[in-house]
Structure 1
Amino acid sequence: MYTVHLVIAARPNIMKVAPVYHALSCKENFSVTLLHTGQHYDPCLSDQLLAELSLPAPQHNFAVGSGSHAHQTAGVLTAYEDFLQETKPDICIVAGDVNSTLACALAAVKLHIPVAHIESGLRSRDRTMPEEINRILTDQLASILWSPSADADANLRSEGIPPEKISRVGNCMIDSLVHLLPSIRKRAAWKSYAARPQSYSVVTLHRPANVDSPQRLYNIIKGLCSLADETQIIFPVHPRTVESLKRLNYHKLLSSHPSIVLIAPLGYLDFLSLVESAATIITDSGGIQEETSYLGIPCLTLRPNTERPITCTMGTNQLVEPNQLPEIYAQTIATTRSAPPKIPLWDGNAGIRIAQDLQNRLDSGIAI
């Protein structure tokens, strides 16, 4: 029997981990322990997402909570190390690029427990982003690197990762989307906001580079208000963004526009229901770039770079600056929407490939 620790932390991790949990649970020779670090833990939203993805409650929650990067990383590192002193698995699986990802990987390898990384090889080439540091270091620590795309493989090879450690498996977040798409389409969440399909845009913002900079945030708001003269905007506002809007007295700039609807963050199904029927998405999120590419929905990403360039070269994503929003939005709306692009291995079966790859490696001892 192989014992596995499967780590979740922030909400995007849950979507990435769910397909792997279900695929491993179908194998009789795996015992999977689901761990939550509590890095971004809202009981209501977290419990709702676990239920939507048919995941059990985590067996353990370290309840680390928010804090500076150093405090959060250190809190997860010490909490997981203490847990590992009591129970050592055959392998620790981490996902994505949050602080918990790096902290759990570091705690495991220090105790000679191999680490596998879901979503290996993504690179923005921007080391001012904490997530980029987490990605690079976690990939250097991992014994198994499960990548979503060919460009990610190339990144890993260029950093000296032995090819035998890398397995291209596809995109686990797309697995969760594919699995839940029928339920998502039944929600019709747009009805709650007096909207019509294909007649509104959805906005999400949360990255410090966008919401902590007074001038950049003002420029974004200016661009959104200009767009709202042409289309309804539905904006689920992240808690960090709410704080910035209030601190800078920008909140009324948005709330006073009759075509901008500010709402609280939504659950996974309701949010993707909004996205699936939108004309465009304006975001700084990484995962939304992938989901919109799968769905064939135009995505305007308010960032100078992306760790997911395949969403630009093969998907529906464009990188834009705030002052470009009105022009690029107009061009996007004027373009006839084509069938969703097909990105290799983004087919809903990444979790199954990961389970089989892990089975093969543990049975043979390859790269462990």
Structure 2
Amino acid sequence: MLIDIIAGARPNFMKIAPIIRALNERRANGGQLRYRLVHTGQHYENKMSGVFFEQLGISVPDINLGVGAGTQATQTAEIMVGYEKLLLHKRSEVCLVVGDVNSTMACALAAKKLNIPVAHVEAGIRSGDLTMPEEINRVVTDSITDWFFTTSEYANAQLRLSGVENERIFFVGNTMIDSLLHNLDRIKAPQFAIEQQLIPDQFLVTTLHRPSNVDNVSTLKTLIDAICEASDGLPVVFPVHPRTNRTLQQVPILPANLLSVDPQPYLEFIWLIKNSKGVITDSGGISEETTILNTPCLTMRNSTERPETTELGTNKLIGTSPDALAPAMCDLLNGKWKVGEAPEKWDGRAGPRIVGQLEILLGQR
């Protein structure tokens, strides 16, 4: 039984690694499931792709569609065309997609049109914000998914509200956290942190990549200035996403305490957020990691598809206004931040649960 595992962008790689590891372990013990790793090439630079495969112990992809950059529509269309050609050449029994990037939706659509079942890992999460491309990808993917692997009871509830039957929903936990816990004793300081003599708990980390925050020079400058001004002089480490870097290059003057660096490999990035005083971000996934690491996290969004990180974890939604940064940062710097706890089943066993359920669904157990 051949399963296609789809990966296209940086967040996908951490999510597929535990599933691949569990499949390999089952095969070594007589399991019958086989997989074909399909990299769409949505993220194609080594700093955003290749180095993650190396650090996470993922083998070289069996197929690389090589789509590269493009507009939302162009990239989605090219992935669909490339993946359809692969399936017409050699079908798989299941298309397993993860997360909410363009590759997720595009491959799910191509597979479903050829009557191949779709399994969605991280199904059911919703922000309610259809201005986010990721939200559209989630809704479309889940509308045609056959088997839903979820990270939380919140996601389960969202799926039930949309009419999904309980027998197709499988609450397995969070594969992102599998990767985090599996690699926690391997994290290491980036070379720049050593050179800059960064002291644990004496620096901040920020990540920004949402179009509304980074596509306009004035907006990006205002955000960066507000973050650095509220930091009380602490260094602000800013791993710059390629999308963000195009705009950042046009900002005339950057704050003296901003340390902009290249996108970091997985092990180095986890070291940064684990050892930082706190994280300021517009990402959803990072709030999951900070929750488990008990690192304060300020999310500059009005909604989140991961409410468990705000209800149980260390994440706080502060909205998109730069004016909200100062009071939140004051609490953070003065130690007035909540202590988080791990949500249910965020225990490092999501990968084996997914593989075990796939064996049952495909009649291999």
Into which bin does the TM-score normalised by the smaller protein fall? Answer: over 0.9
Amino acid in structure 1 at the alignment position of 2:260? L
Letter in 1 for 2:325: L
Distance 2:11 2:252 in 1: 27
Measured against aligned partners, the alpha-carbon deviations of 1:97-150 in whole angstroms (never above 9, x if no partner) come to 111111100110111100100100110000011110110111111110000001
Aligned pair 1:9/2:8, yes or no? yes
Mark the runs of 5 or more structure 2 residues left unpaired by the alignment.
Answer: none
Residue identity opposite 2:55 in structure 1: E
> Partner amino acid for 2:126?
R
Q: 1:340 to 1:182 in 2, by over 3 A?
A: farther
**Consecutive aligned runs of 4 or more in structure 1 exceeding 6 Å deviation:** 186-189
1:159 maps to what in 2? 162
Amino acid at match of 1:347: D
Task: Give the deviation of 1:303 after TM superposition.
Answer: 1.1
The separation in 1 between residues aligned to 2:227 and 2:338, in whole angstroms, is: 25
What SS does the aligned partner of 1:360 have?
Answer: helix
Cα distance in 1 for partners of 2:160, 2:167 equals 10
Match of 1:323 in 2: 323
Structure 1: how far apart are the matches of 2:336 and 2:243?
A: 35
- Aligned match for 1:295, one of 274, 293, 302: 293
> TM-score, normalization: structure 1?
0.93
Distance in 2, matches of 1:197 and 1:9, equals: 33
How far residue 332 of structure 1 moved from its aligned partner, in angstroms, is: 1.8
Percent of residue pairs identical:
42
Amino acid at match of 1:343: P
What's 1:24 paired with?
23
- Quickly say closer, same or farther: Cα 1:246–1:348, change in 2 above 3 A: same
- Match of residue 101, structure 1, among 83, 95, 104: 104
Deviations 1:237-294, CA, capped at 9 Å, x for gaps: 11211211234xx252x2xx33221111111111111111000001111110100011
CA 45–125 in structure 1, closer or farther in 2 if over 3 Å, else same: closer
* 1:8-157 → structure 2 map (5 Å cutoff): 8-27=7-26, 28-157=31-160
Q: How many residues align?
A: 359
Instruction: State the 1:359 CA deviation.
Output: 0.8
Give the 3-state SS of the residue equivalent to 1:133 in structure 2. helix
The corresponding residue for 1:347 is 347
Instruction: Give the Cα–Cα distance (whole angstroms) in 2 for the partners of residues 277 and 251 of structure 1.
Output: 30
- How many angstroms does 1:75 deviate by? 0.3
Q: Distance in 1 between matches of 2:216 and 2:190?
A: 35
Larger displacement relative to structure 2 (204-213 or 11-20): 204-213
2-side partners of 1:189 and 1:63: how far apart? 31
Distance 1:129 1:337 in 2: 28
The CA distance in 2 between the partners of 1:109 and 1:225, in whole Å, is 47
Deviation at 1:185, TM superposition (A): 5.2
Once the two structures are TM-superposed, the CA of residue 217 in structure 1 deviates from its matched residue by 2.3
Q: Which amino acid aligns with 2:112?
A: V
Cα shift at 1:177: 0.5
Question: Which residue is equivalent to 1:273?
Answer: 271
Contact 1:190 1:197 in 2 (8 A): no
Q: Are the structure 2 counterparts of residues 364 and 181 from structure 1 closer, same or farther at C-alpha, using a change threshold of 3 Å? A: closer
- From 167, 171, 185, the equivalent of 1:182 is 185
CA distance in 1 between counterparts of 2:175 and 2:96 reads 13
Task: Check conservation: 2:33, 2:364, Cα contact below 8 A.
Answer: no
Structure 1 residues 35 and 314, CA gap change in structure 2 (3 angstroms): same
Verify the 8 A CA contact 2:214 2:220 in the aligned structure 1.
yes
Deviation at residue 219 of structure 1 after TM alignment: 2.8
Cα-to-partner distance string for 1:39-88 (whole Å, 9 max, x where unaligned) = 11113542211111111000110000111111111100011001000111
- Shift of the 192–287 alpha-carbon distance from structure 1 to 2, 3 Å rule, reads farther
The question of whether the paired residues in 2 share the 8 Å contact of 1:190 and 1:273 is answered with no
Q: Is the 8 A contact 1:95 1:101 kept in 2?
A: yes
**Who is 1:361 aligned against?**
361
Question: Which of 31-40 and 213-222 deviates more?
Answer: 213-222
Q: Check 1:298–1:15 CA distance in 2 against 1; reply closer, same or farther (3 A cut).
A: same
**Unmatched segments (≥5 aa) in structure 1:** none
For residues 218 and 53 of structure 1, the distance between their equivalents in structure 2, rounded to whole angstroms, comes to 34
Cα distance in 2, alignment partners of residues 277 and 25 from structure 1: 32
Shift of 1:336: 5.5
After superposition, the C-alpha distances for 1:206-225 in whole angstroms (9 at most, x for unaligned) are 11011124453233123123
In structure 2, distance between residues paired with 1:318 and 1:230: 22
Superposition deviation, residue 334 in structure 1:
1.8
| Shift in Å, 1:191 | 2.6
The letter for the 2-side match of 1:86 is H
Query: What is the distance in 2 between the residues matched to 1:304 and 1:190?
Result: 32
| CA distance 1:301–1:7, shift in 2 (3 Å) | same
Q: Is the 8 A contact 2:228 2:236 kept in 1?
A: no
2: distance between equivalents of 1:188 and 1:41? 23
Which AA in structure 2 matches 1:304?
A: N
TM-score when scaled to structure 2? 0.94
